[in-house]
Structure 1
Amino acid sequence: MFEQLGLIGCGLMGGSFALALKRAGLVQRVVGYSKSPSTTDRARQMGVIDVEAPSALLAVAGADIVLLAVPVSATEATLKAIKHLVTPNMLVMDVGSTKTDVVQAARRALRDQVGSFVPAHPITGREVSGVEHAEADLYSGRQVILTPIERTLTAQLKKAEEVWTALGCRVSSMSPESHDEAFAAISHLPHLLAFAFINGLAGQSQADTFLSLAGPGFRDFTRIAGGEPKIWRDIFLANREELLTQSQLFQQALQRLEHLVRSDDPQALEDMLTLASETRTHWRMGAQRTSKGR
């Protein structure tokens, strides 16, 4: 389908995309660039990319598909660096976890060429980072949210839908604003809470003793606190208004539970816990049905 992928950011997400395209036979050549030359060199040695580029602009030269796998805070600078080579026939995508800020950055940076840009958010990842963890299966079976804008070219949107579908993804679309509202609730807040929980525990005098007793429940609850701090710093700041709104709603829910514990009302407390348990069970069953229906 594509002659050349220009990959900007040869880490976990970008590297996995390149490997997936290669395995599916969807690209003939991958030219990659990373801010760290050692990352780009490692990606070439692993066969993730075929050619190392000394700059983002040269990674895009000759490409008909471009993927930005960079922190969301670097989106605008990266797009400005490549804008002179972006054409109406080129598909440009990102994989960022926030979208309103990314779309605004694309409008400012690409201007008349913004129609080639299709914002994308693959709902996948790992608590580790780096090209050494890249794998062709990272996107298979996952959901990908596209957030096209009014100037997005129909042809490029269609290409984006086709390429993600070919990689085994379930593709859907929504507005950038709706995306950020939803993911503040289901992703960004849980990560914020996991980081806060670990920090709160670490600040206690008996932290080492407590941690030595931790088991599967602690592991499951805190897994996402192992995420890359710089990435999550950028996400929290980029989506701060929606995140703070969700944080306030969470604090209200926590206060209600605290009140029931404090007031020693077993039945009311059980009712609240049952509601939470049933809500999660309902979600899990729906997710399983969706997966089996593929």
Structure 2
Amino acid sequence: MKKVELVVIEQNRNGTPLNILVVGLGLIGGSFAASLRECGESFHLMGFDLRSENVEKAVSLRIVAEGCEDFKSAVDKADVIQLSVPMLAMPKVLQQLKGLDLAGKVMTDVGSCKGSLVQAAREIFGDIPESLVPGHPIAGSEKSGVTAARAGLFKHHKVILTPLENTDRAALSLVRHLWQCCGAQVNVMDVWRHDEVLAMTSHLPHLLAFSLVDTLAGNPENQDIFRYAAGGFRDFTRIAGSDPV
């Protein structure tokens, strides 16, 4: 691949902003773009989403400067590609990327399970691209969608990057820098350790909250159950209002 560091150096010297493409304009992807927009550095932020209304909203809210309707054209223009789609959609997006020219481009993601991303990338590309930097911001909200995006979502929150042995160091450095521009504290962790820790601290609590609310909602006496629920119950079940996908 064309060396990432050379791309960055050349663009910094001539004042050309990095073209950053956010694929998936939901809460996380939108907040990533909004944070970079306000960080004071020169980035050209582009957005792609399968739902055209999300692209239109992102442009109207000035979350991205350019809305993209054609995936190939958007990727061709991008220097950095941030994959912010649900985990189940990652393989399909990676498959689309495989057929495009990715020379000199950095790819990263925001998925909460790094093992499945790495496995999908290995199956699709054969050898995992050196320019792929798996990542996961430890931040969010029970609200979802591009209208819930906000610039300060990642400020003072941790972002975990899980580079592989073959990950390009310049690509890793660039992705780290972008998250730091968002105000995040960036940590590096092994893929499998990340998944082990997040299964206990994030996935299990989500599963329990969704399961509890679903069970109680089906109880014949659910009106009284929810009417007299106190603060502790509301705190525990708040995340059940988030998007289960």
Q: Report if TM-score (shorter chain) is over 0.5.
A: yes
Partner of 2:227: 212
- Residue 26 of structure 1: how far off its partner (Å): 3.1
Check the 8 A contact 1:10/1:40 in 2, yes or no.
yes
Check the 8 A contact 1:56/1:82 in 2, yes or no.
no
- Residue 61 of structure 1: how far off its partner (Å): 1.7
For the pair shown, which has the larger CA radius of gyration, 1 or 2? 1
Partner of 1:127: 142
Q: Residue 86 of structure 1 is aligned with which of 79, 102, 107?
A: 102
CA distance in 1, matches of 2:118, 2:242: 24
Partner of 2:176: 161
Question: Counterpart amino acid of 2:105?
Answer: M
Q: In the TM superposition, what whole-angstrom CA distance separates every residue of 1:54-99 from its partner, at most 9, and x where no partner exists?
A: 2332222221111110011111211221232312x32211000110
Structure 1, unmatched stretches of 5+, are 232-294
TM-score (norm. length: structure 2): 0.88
- Residue 107 of structure 1: how far off its partner (Å): 2.3
Check the 8 A contact 2:35/2:181 in 1, yes or no.
no
Partner of 1:6: 21
CA distance in 1, matches of 2:128, 2:219: 53
- Residue 126 of structure 1: how far off its partner (Å): 0.5
Query: CA distance change for structure 1 residues 65 and 26 in 2, over 3 Å: closer, same or farther?
Result: farther
1:105 aligns with 2:111: no
Check the 8 A contact 2:48/2:55 in 1, yes or no.
yes
Partner of 1:16: 31
Check the 8 A contact 1:7/1:59 in 2, yes or no.
no
CA distance in 2, matches of 1:142, 1:114: 28
Partner of 2:84: 69
CA distance in 1, matches of 2:114, 2:52: 28
CA distance in 2, matches of 1:98, 1:177: 9
Partner of 1:268: none
1:227 aligns with 2:233: no
Check the 8 A contact 1:76/1:108 in 2, yes or no.
no
Query: CA distance change for structure 1 residues 25 and 58 in 2, over 3 Å: closer, same or farther?
Result: farther
Structure 2, unmatched stretches of 5+, are 1-11
Question: Counterpart amino acid of 1:182?
Answer: V
Aligned residue for 2:117, secondary structure, equals helix
1:188 aligns with 2:211: no
